[in-house]
Structure 1
Amino acid sequence: MEAIIAIAIFAISYLFLLLEKINRALVALCGAALLIVFNIFTIDDAMTSYVDWSTIVLLFSMMVLITITQRTGIFEFIALWLIKRIGERPYALFFWIAVLTAVGSALLDNVTTVLLFVPILIHMIRELNLPAFPYLVMVIISSNIGGTATMIGDPPNIMIGQAVEHLTFMSFIVHLAPIVVIIFLMTMGLLFLFFNRSLKQVETENNRSVRNVDPKSALKHTPLLYQSVSILCLTIIAFMFHGLLHVELTTIALVSALLLLLLSEKDGLTDIVFSKIEWTTLFFFIGLFILVGGLEQTGIIDHLAVMFMSITEGESLKSSYAILWSAGLLSGFLDNIPYVASMIQVLLELEEFGMKATDPMWWALALGACLGGNSTLLGASANVVVAGIASTNGVRIPFLRYMVYGFTVVLLSLLIASGYLYIRYF
């Protein structure tokens, strides 16, 4: 009976998450509360056994670091500098904005990158008389591909990295960055084919606005500018070498965030920073971990693990491909975060049934979930954010029109990823 209750609560919560009629954090927390009310587990067990506080603290710390650094204008400076340098050449602008978006998504995270960059981009493409749709599609796709390359680039990667102890920050770069570069370049070639006619027809006669742009005006030349940029860079470097330092990623991020908060306190930023934190995202993760914990507590995850092993016959290659393609195809239509949270527990439970979750399976899950988010406008948080900003600025991204391009890109990405998994690991 408990299993039926847990499945029903999870399914109903998932349905409301898909409908997006109610705040997703509220949906997840209500589902978690129902599990406790129906005595699936106690609130103490829910908070101590099932919530991955390391992931929550890591997300919070990165939000603090990015929020404070953003206030110095450094990210806007980089975007304006790029646009000023190549704004008169639509093809070059298209490519280098994609590169900037991908790199930003890998080092910051894809949602933060598009939040910072898209408003500036919309303003500039209007001034240059450029078509908005190709550039916005390119930003969405580049952000999801770039976010795949590192552990902090996309929430699914953060969850996987925190769940599997031996997958370090550098592991993600070593195993995922090479294929991400290949997929990015192949995708850019495909997008150039898709939008070649639109870019050819662009008229850029009035470029005075670009020539008059002063990127330095975006910078706030205060001690905080140098402090925040230095701490952010040192944090990323520490992430790369945390294995040698024998310090957890969460500890590094938290210490960096607290240090930057202390340095910015004299400017009265602490209350402002806390008001800018994406609390909805943090509480959504807390509720989600408890929802998945309900499936684990009632044995549903064990059952799924057995089914998965019987389908793939315990073979690592079959399992990796099953994970890659299921995650890739489902992530475009379902929220990839609940899917990844469930699959992490399935893979962790496989050992109980005589099958070890190999590294290629984890990389397949990361690649499928992150790349698959490009399929539709609902496939990833970054997609929804870009569509929302565009709509606020009077630019509409049609769902079906985007899906034609997005789904084609995902199929290409998954085919390349399949070849990569086979060549590198099997």
Structure 2
Amino acid sequence: MTTILAISVFIISYYFIMTEKINRATVALAGGMLLLLTQVYTWETVITKYIDWHTIALLFAMMVLVGITKNTGVFSFIAIRLAKVVKGDPKKLLIGVGLLTAIGSALLDNVTTVLLFVPIIITLTTMLKQPTFPYLITIIITSNIGGTATLIGDPPNIMIGQAVPHITFASFLQHTAPISIVILVITLTLLYYLFRKQLKPIEIDDIKKLKLMNEREHLKKSPLLYQSVSILILTIIGFILHPIIHMDITMIALSGAILLLLCSDKELLTEKVFEQVEWITLFFFIGLFMLVGGLQEVGVIDEIARSIMWVTGGDMSNTALLLLWTSGVLSGVVDNIPFVAAMIPVIQEFESYGMANLDPLWWSLALGACLGGNGSLIGATANVVVAGLAEAQNKKIEFVKYLKYGIPIVLLSLVIATIYIYFRYLVPFEQSL
């Protein structure tokens, strides 16, 4: 009975999360609370076993760091400077926006990056009399590709990094960053050719307007500007060095956030900073961990692991490639966060079936989930955020229209990732047997 109940609550919650008829954080928390009330598990079990507080704390810390830095105007400065560097050329701007979004997504996280850049890009394209759609599509796609490169770039990577102690920030730089760069270059080239005819030559008057814009006016020159940028850079360096300094990545992020809160206290009230934190996202994660915890408690996760092992026969190569394509395809249909939350315990369960080295499976899951998020407007949190910001500015992105670009790019990305995983991990693994 409890098994049927846990599965039913998960499926119903998943449906409402996908359709967004009700706020997804509310849905996830309601589902988790229902599992508590029906005694599928206890409150103590949820708090100590199923909710990953490391992931919650890491996300919170990054939101605080970026939120304070955003108030200094440094991100607006970067966007306007980019437009000036390319002299308003719409095609160069498209490539520049893609590169900037990918870099920002890798270093900050893709949700934060799109929140910062989308309003600025809409303003720039409107001023330059360019269609906004190509730039918004480019932002969505490159945010997910850039987010694939690092541990903090995309929520699924954060979850994997927290679940597997030996996978560090440097590990992602070594394993997912190289293929992300390759896919980014190929994707930007493809987007350039797809959109080149839609981008109009910029008029002389618009070039003059751009030249008259003073990006320095957006910078709030105060001690906080230098403090926030310095602490943000130091935090990222700490992520890279954390295996050497033997400090948990969550502790590094929290230390940076608290230090910046102390530095900003005179210029920016802590209450104002906390108002900018994406609490809905944090509570969505908490509810999500509760929902997946219900499936773990009743043994559904164990059964999924056994099923995958049965399909692949326990073969590492078959399992890794099946995981890559399954996560890639499903992440285009549903948000990749709940999918990864459900798959982490499945992969962990494989160890009990004799798989000693699970790393190829973790990289398959990370690449599939992050790259697959480009498949549709609900495939990743960043996609939903961009669509919402665009609609608020009367620049609505049509769901079906997006699919025409998202699906081919995901398929191409997964093919490239398949070749990468096979030759980098699976061939050496098979030769070692």
CA positional deviation for 1:187: 0.6
Counterparts of 1:298 and 1:354, CA distance in 2: 23
Counterpart mapping for 1:209-220 below 5 A: 209-220=209-220
Q: CA deviation at 1:195?
A: 1.2
Paired with 2:370 and 2:128, the residues of 1 have a C-alpha distance of 32
Distance 1:268 1:218 in 2: 17
CA shift digits 1:49-75 (9 cap, x unpaired): 111111110011111100001101111
- The CA distance in 2 between the partners of 1:219 and 1:289, in whole Å, is 39
Q: How many Å separate the matches in 1 of 2:201 and 2:332?
A: 31
* TM-superposed deviation, 1:357: 5.6
Question: What's the CA shift string for 1:22-69, capped at 9, x where partnerless?
Answer: 111111111111111111111111111111111110011111100001
**What is the SS of the residue equivalent to 1:295?**
helix
Q: Which residue identity is paired with 2:59? A: L
- Tell whether 2:282 aligns with 1:277: no
How far apart are 1:396 and its partner, in Å? Answer: 2.0
Match runs of 1:266-345 below 5 Å: 266-345=266-345
| Secondary structure of 1:88 counterpart | coil
Structure 1 residue identity aligned to 2:204: E
Equivalent pair of 2:88/2:202 in contact (CA under 8 Å): no
Give me the whole-angstrom Cα distance separating, in 2, the residues matched to 1:320 and 1:204.
51
Report 1:10-409 matches (<5 A). Answer: 10-199=10-199, 201-206=200-205, 207-356=207-356, 358-409=358-409
CA contact (8 A) 1:336 1:380 kept: yes
Provide the C-alpha distance between the structure 2 equivalents of 1:220 and 1:126, rounded to a whole number of angstroms.
25
Superposition TM-score, scaled by structure 1 size: 0.98
* Structure 1 residue 202, shift from structure 2 partner: 3.4
Deviation at 1:349, TM superposition (A): 1.1
d(CA) in 2 for partners of 1:381, 1:412: 21
The 2-side partners of 1:291 and 1:384 are apart by 21
Mapped to 1, the partners of 2:325 and 2:140 lie a distance apart of 21
CA deviation string 1:268-287 (max 9, x = no partner): 42000111111111111111
Question: May I ask how many residue pairs the two structures share in their alignment?
Answer: 425
Contact kept, 8 Å, 1:348 with 1:357, in 2: the verdict is no
The AA in structure 1 aligned to 2:400 is: L
Whole-angstrom CA distance in 2 between matches of 1:183 and 1:86: 23
Write the distance in 1 (CA, Å) between the matches of 2:156 and 2:223: 35
Q: Secondary structure at 1:266's aligned position in 2? A: coil
The 8 Å contact of residues 77 and 219 in structure 2, kept in 1 or not, is answered as yes
- 2:395 match: secondary structure: coil
- Give the distance between the partners of 2:17 and 2:356, measured in 1 at CA: 32
Tell me how far apart the structure 2 counterparts of residues 216 and 106 of structure 1 sit (CA, whole Å): 25
3-state SS of 1:221 partner: coil
Q: What CA distance in whole angstroms lies between the structure 1 residues aligned with 2:278 and 2:92?
A: 34
Q: C-alpha separation between the residues in 1 aligned to 2:213 and 2:420? A: 43
Q: Which deviates more from structure 2 when the two are superposed, residues 201-210 or residues 37-46?
A: 201-210
> Shift of the alpha carbon at 1:120?
0.9
CA RMSD, aligned part only? 1.1
Amino acid at match of 1:193: Y
**1:250 partner amino acid:** T
Percent identity between the two aligned chains: 54
Name the CA distance, whole Å, in 1 between partners of 2:266 and 2:190: 50
Distance in 2 of aligned mates of 1:268 and 1:108: 21
Quick check: 2:46–2:293 contact (8 Å CA) kept in 1?
A: yes
- Structure 2 length as normaliser, TM-score? 0.96
Q: SS state of the match for residue 331, structure 1?
A: helix
Structure 1 gaps, min length 5:
none
1:111 and 1:381 in contact (8 A); partners too? yes
Is the Cα–Cα contact under 8 Å of residues 351 and 358 in structure 2 kept in the other structure? Answer: no
Q: Which amino acid aligns with 2:32?
A: A
CA deviation after TM superposition for structure 1 residue 389, in Å: 1.3
Q: Indicate conservation of the 8 Å contact 2:17/2:24, yes or no.
A: yes
Partners of 2:391 and 2:16 in 1: how far apart?
Answer: 23
**5+ residue gaps in structure 2?**
428-433
Report the AA paired with residue 27 of structure 1: V
SS at match of 1:332: helix
Q: Which amino acid aligns with 2:41?
A: F
- CA deviation vs aligned residue, 1:220-249 (integer Å, no higher than 9, x gap): 011111111000000000100100000000
Show CA shifts across 1:146-174 (max 9, x none): 01000000000000000001000000011
Shifted more, 394-403 versus 245-254: the winner is: 394-403
